[in-house]
Amino acid sequence: MRPAHDMLTPVTIEKSFDVDRIRTEFPILKQRVNGKPLAYLDNAATSQKPQVVIDAMNRYYLEENSNIHRGVHFLSDKATQSYEAARKKIQRFINAASHKEIIFVRGTTEAINLVAQSYGRKYFHAGDEMIISAMEHHSNIVPWQMICEEKGLTLRVIPMNDKGELFIDKFETMLNPKTKFVAVVHVSNALGTINPVQQIIEIAHRRGVPVIVDGAQAVPHMKVDVRDLDCDFYAFSAHKMYGPTGVGVLYGKQHLLEAMPPYQGGGDMIKSVTYAKTTYNDLPNKFEAGTPNIVGGVGLGATIDFMNTLDFEAATAHEHELLEYATEVLTTIKGLRIIGTAREKASVVSFVLEGIHPHDIGTILDDDGIAIRTGHHCAQPVMQCFGIPATARASFAMYNTKEEIDALVKGIYKVIEVFS
């Protein structure tokens, strides 16, 4: 899949995307921090939420709150309908074949753990191998390490070059008859790299190996079509795509999910229980034990409604413009080095300043109301790859502006001045 910005000309962007109007939908952006206008450039950590999502969640608690799938009364019906409607919205949003393939989870992390514990427990055996990449978030490393250790698998890692691009040819040679699974990130949160996941999936499938894609950073910034990708599993979090925290999605191909054992046991995931035998529920309920985050699901549904009102390609193009502008102006700063310079990148700029630790950069920028992330971004192996302990990271969403990037640059000069 090609990122949407490739298909657009700058003229359409101006016409169809009005950043000032978009900003008015996000009340938190009006805030001042330390007397300065907030410049929220930490969107890869979590995005802000539009008023319509906040309202939908409020309305749920004000008018519909009840438990789902179990009551015969009016409110329970209403709540169940809202929750299940959200599932169908998600299905259409990522173009899944059936709503049964949409499993509500806590977020990307839980989605990956679910697959590791359920699929891995059933299909992994001692002596097998699985493959991840050198730019995974800890949430796409540790769950696999846990199951690999338990089952006696070797975990292999696709290496990357110094721009932060995976060596796809090396990946191809790593696949062998022992390979049972591939887990790869769609867009790297630490480097911004957009990985050629479609190609990776195609290569793996030629060997009959299923693939899970960590889409936490992709879904907010590009159109994702799981059937076009042909991925076997796809994981993402609502909170990074303008939705609420505490809810996310595992997409899985129906025949795979059907063959997998449950992840957790409890209410809602059963058909019948006796002490002798429990019959599990059908998809998707089999994987949704217990009362879920109902308001979160409803909020995610509203988030998708919101995203559907946007000219998504234009929003993506705007973000790409921000990325190019930031890259251009930041590179003019002496002593600043951008970490992650892949050809295909999403709107993430990780950087280091010579002689100044990212933590100090973050504190000084915050004084001017500029919110960035500093640290290892839950990707310590990536930092080790580049031989640095941490980076400062600015990550943009569609509501960010060039003025905010100018403020960032000004702030960085102030950092340099403090330490001169």
Ligand X SMILES: Cc1ncc(COP(=O)(O)O)c(C=O)c1O
Residues that bind ligand X (CB under 6 A): 44, 107-109, 137, 139-140, 185, 189, 214, 216-217, 237, 378
Does the protein bind another protein through residue 364 (CB under 8 A)?
yes
**Who's near 55: CB < 8 A, 6+ residues apart?**
302
Interacting residues of 341 by C-beta distance below 8 A, sequence separation 6+: 163, 164
Closest separation between CB of residue 36 and another protein, Å? 11
Reading the block at residue 343, the tokens are 């050809």
DSSP label at residue 26: -
Q: CB-wise, 80 or 139, nearer to ligand X? A: 139
Nearer to ligand X, 212 or 216 (CB): 216
Query: Which ranges of 286-420 would DSSP assign to H, the alpha helix?
Result: 294-309, 312-331, 358-366, 380-386, 402-418
Residue carrying the six token digits 């022992």: 178
Report, in Å, the least distance between residue 112 CB and another protein: 21
- Smallest separation (angstroms) from ligand X to the CB of 214: 5
Catalytically annotated residue among 148, 231, 378, 385: 378
Identify the residue among 134, 356, 372, 407 touching another protein (CB under 8 A). 356
Whether the CB-CB separation of 116 and 145 falls below 8 Å is answered with: no
In 31-134, the DSSP E strands lie at 32-33, 36-37, 39-40, 102-105, 129-133
Q: Which does 367 bind (CB under 5 to 8 A by kind): another protein, ligand X, none?
A: another protein
Binding partner of residue 81 among ligand X, another protein, none, CB cut-off 5 to 8 Å per kind = none
Of 137, 139, 130, the closest CA to residue 158 belongs to 130
Q: Which of residues 371-400 bind another protein (CB under 8 A)?
A: 374-376, 380, 383, 389-390
Residue 147 · residue 121 · CB < 8 Å: yes
Q: Is 148 a catalytic residue?
A: no
Shortest CB 358 distance to another protein, Å: 8
Q: How far is the CB of 32 from another protein (least distance, A)?
A: 16
Q: Which is nearer to another protein, 58 or 363 (CB)?
A: 363
Please state, in angstroms and rounded to a whole number, the distance separating the CA atoms of residues 100 and 249. Answer: 12
Distance CA 131, CA 75 (A): 46
CB closer to ligand X, 82 vs 139: 139
Tokens 């709503």 -> residue? 99
| Stretch binding another protein (CB under 8 A), from 217-225, 238-246, 370-378, 392-400 | 370-378
Instruction: Categorise residue 157: left if φ over 0, alpha if ψ from -120 to 50, beta otherwise.
Output: beta
Is 363 a residue that touches another protein (CB under 8 A)? yes
Within 215-347, residue ranges assigned H as helices are 226-229, 254-259, 294-309, 312-331
389 contact, one of another protein, ligand X, none, CB 5-8 Å limit per kind: another protein
Considering the complex, what minimum distance in angstroms separates the CB of residue 354 from ligand X? 27
Q: Are 362 and 370 in contact (CB under 8 A)?
A: no
Rounded distance between C-alpha atoms, residue 389 and residue 383, angstroms: 6
Amino acid letter for position 215: G
Q: Does 360 bind another protein (CB under 8 A)?
A: yes
**Alpha helices of 100-157 — where are they, by DSSP H?**
108-115, 121-123, 142-151
231 binds, among another protein, ligand X, none (CB under 5 to 8 A by kind): none
Query: Is position 359 an interface residue for another protein (rule: CB under 8 A)?
Result: yes
- Judged by beta carbon distances under 5 to 8 A according to partner kind, the member of ligand X, another protein, none in contact with residue 137 is ligand X
The entry of another protein, ligand X, none near residue 418 (CB within 5 to 8 angstroms by kind) is another protein
Catalytic residues, by residue number, are 378
Q: Which residues bind another protein (CB under 8 A)?
A: 356-360, 363-364, 367, 374-376, 380, 383, 389-390, 418-419
